[in-house]
Structure 1
Amino acid sequence: MEKLKINEIIVVEGKDDVSAVKKAVDAEILMTNGYSLDKRARDLIKAASLRKKLIILTDSDYAGEVIRKRVEKLVGSENVAHAFLSREVSTKDGDIGVENASPESITEALSKVRFTKKDKEDIFTQKDMLYNDLVGGNNSSNKRDFVGKLLGVGYCNAKQFLSRLNTFDITREEFNDALNKYENEVSNG
C-alpha cells in the first residue's frame, strides 16, 4: 500500500513518534524533543513554519496539549493545523503516545486535520453543549469522546471541546452528523 503524501511538516514530540509517523505517511517530520521544547527545536520549528504549514500531532495527554499550545504560540495559529489521536488508539500498556498508534490510526488522524480559524463569529455556545448532552450528563464525557473522534478534534473536557468546535471551524452540519452517528451507535450498539 502506498503511503499518504503530506505536504505540510508534521511536528511530534520524540524520536519514537517520528518513527511511527514515518511508517504511516510520507512527510517531513520535526520533533520538539519532549515537553521542554528546547531552543534548537524552537528555532527549527520557526524556520520550518516559514517554508510550509505545520501539522501538530502530539500525545493525547496534558504534556501533549501544552506542547501543542506552545508550538502554536511560537509560530502563530495561521501557520499550524492540528491532528488528534484518541487515547483509545494511542495507549499501550498504560502509556499514552503517538508512538503507540497504528499507521492506520495516524493516517486517519492526519486525514482529519483542522486549521485554526481567525476572526469568525462563534457558531456553537454552551446551550449547544447542554442541549446535546455534551456537558452535565452521565454519559457526556463518552459522547464528547465519540463526537470528537469523528470531527477530528480529539478528546477534551467540555470547555475545551466547545472552544475546539469554534476554533477549528466545525460546521453545524458536521456537528449534527457526528451527533447522529453517536445516537445510531448507541441505539444499535
Structure 2
Amino acid sequence: MKKKINKVIVVEGRDDTANLKRFYEVNTYETNGSSINQTDLERLKILHEKQGIIVFTDPDFQGERIRKIIMSAIPTAQHAFIQRDEGVPKSKSKGHSLGVEHADFTALEAALNQVETSVSPDRNENGLTISDLMAYGLVMGSDSRKRREFLCTELRIGYANGKQLLKRLNMFGIGLEEVDQAMKKYGNVIQ
C-alpha cells in the first residue's frame, strides 16, 4: 500500500514523477526541466490555492533556479530537498544527471517528512542576521563552506552559499535556536 500525498509535487521531469510514483500515490506537476515559464507559474498558483504544492527539484543549479523562480512567485509554497549524494545515479549507464529520479525511498521519505514552508522575510520575527552567521563560522571563515554544508544537510534545506544561506534560513523561518542545535552537532562531529 502506497502512502498518499495530498499536495501536488512540483518536479522537473517524468523520470522524477516515475520515481515518486514507485513509492507514493501522488500527483506531480512537471516543469520539463529548466523551461519554467509564466504559464507554469499561473498553473502552479491555482494548484497551490486548491491543493497546495511541494517544490521538489534536483539539488543542482537548474533545480535551484526553478525553486527560486517558484519561491518568488509563490512564497507560501512548501519545499522538499534531497542531498546531492542522495540524487546520484546508482549505475554509470544512467549518465551524469543528479536528481530526484535517482533517490531511493529512504531519501525521498526523509525529504518529504522534512517539508519546509517558506515565509516572507518580514513575517519572520526571529530573523537571523549576517552577524549570527559569522558567530557560527558560516561565513568569512576558513572552514565556512564545510560548516554551511553541514548545517544545510542537518536542516535539509539544500546547500546554500553564504549569500543564499541567510535568505534561505529567514525564508523558512529557521531561528537562532535551530541553527544553534545543529551547530552543536557539528562541534561533536569535528572533534
Q: Same fold (TM over 0.5)?
A: yes
Amino acid at match of 1:88: D
The share of aligned pairs that are identical, in percent, is 35
- For the structure 1 residues 164 and 38, does the alpha-carbon distance in structure 2 shift closer, same or farther, using more than 3 Å as the test? closer
Mapping of residues 7-156 of structure 1, within 5 Å: 7-37=6-36, 41-42=40-41, 44-74=43-73, 76-78=74-76, 80-92=77-89, 94-118=96-120, 119-156=123-160
- Compute the TM-score of the two structures, normalised by the length of structure 1: 0.87
For 1:107 and 1:65, locate their aligned partners in 2 and report how far apart those are by CA, in whole Å.
20
Verify the 8 A CA contact 1:35 1:64 in the aligned structure 2: yes
- Kindly indicate whether the alpha-carbon contact (under 8 Å) linking 1:31 and 1:41 is maintained by their aligned counterparts in 2: no
**Ranges in structure 1 where 5+ consecutive residues have no aligned partner:** none
TM-score normalised by structure 2 residue count: 0.86
Q: Distance in 2 between matches of 1:133 and 1:101?
A: 31
1:5 and 1:175 map into 2 onto residues whose CA distance is 32
RMSD between aligned residues:
2.0
Question: Is the contact between residue 33 and residue 41 of structure 1 (CA under 8 Å) also seen in structure 2?
Answer: no
What runs of 5+ residues in structure 2 fail to find an aligned partner? none
Change (3 A) 1:3 1:146: farther
For 2:29, what is the secondary structure of its paired residue? Answer: strand
Secondary structure of 2:186's aligned partner: helix
Give the Cα separation in 2 of the matches to 1:138 and 1:100: 33
In the TM superposition, structure 1's runs of 4+ consecutive aligned residues that sit over 3 Å from their partners are 2-5, 38-44
Number of residues paired by the alignment?
Answer: 184
Question: What is the Cα deviation at residue 8 of structure 1?
Answer: 1.6
Cα distance in 2 for partners of 1:166, 1:40 equals: 28
